[in-house]
């Protein structure tokens, strides 16, 4: 047997064939298992993608809502700033009018005092 190389008798050949069939069957089972895992992982990836898309859509919707609120607040600040500017302008204008009225009041007081002095001096001279 050693001189002739690798030769198998009938029983050894059958055992070898059975072993080969067992190995092939085991490989086939392993491939089936790998295929099942692949399909399972693909489903999980699809599920994660759908969930990520839903989450992303939710974030985008929330971001749009926040942007709209920020825009409303910006407009409100602009309106309040404009009203504040208008009120400041009105205040400055009213302060000018108060100063003018005060000057006029002093001028009228001076005129009244001058008239009273004139009348008093006229009355004293007549007496």
CA distance 61 to 74: 20
> Whole-structure pTM over 0.85, yes or no?
no
Residue 53 confidence (pLDDT):
86
Sorted by where each begins, the domain ranges of the chain are 10-93
The answer to whether residues 7 and 1 touch, using CB atoms and an 8 Å cutoff, is: yes
Is the sign of the CA dihedral 112, 114, 119, 123 positive or negative? positive
CA distance 44 to 37: 10
Residue 112 confidence (pLDDT):
96
Helix ranges (H only) for the chain are: 10-126
Residues contacting 16, CB < 8 A, separation 6+:
8
Residue 5 confidence (pLDDT):
54
Q: Is 3 helix (H, G, I), strand (E, B) or coil?
A: coil
- Tell me the pLDDT of the chain (127 aa) as tens digits: 445 555 555 556 566 667 777 777 777 887 888 889 999 999 999 998 888 888 888 899 999 999 999 999 999 999 999 999 999 999 999 999 999 999 999 999 999 999 999 998 877 777 6
Residue 6 confidence (pLDDT):
53
Residue 127 confidence (pLDDT):
63
DSSP class of residue 5 equals -
């Amino acid at each position: 047997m050693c001189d002739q190389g690798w030769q198998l008798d009938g029983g050894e050949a059958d055992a070898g064939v059975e072993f080969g069939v067992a190995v092939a069957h085991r490989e086939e089972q392993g491939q089936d298992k790998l295929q099942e895992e692949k399909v399972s992982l693909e489903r999980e990836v699809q599920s994660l993608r759908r969930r990520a898309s839903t989450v992303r859509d939710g974030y985008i919707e929330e971001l749009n809502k926040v942007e709209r609120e920020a825009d409303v607040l910006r407009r409100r600040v602009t309106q309040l700033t404009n009203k504040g500017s208008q009120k400041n302008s009105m205040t400055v204008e009213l302060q000018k009018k108060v100063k003018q009225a005060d000057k006029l009041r002093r001028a009228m007081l001076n005129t009244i005092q001058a008239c009273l002095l004139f009348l008093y001096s006229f009355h004293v001279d007549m007496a």
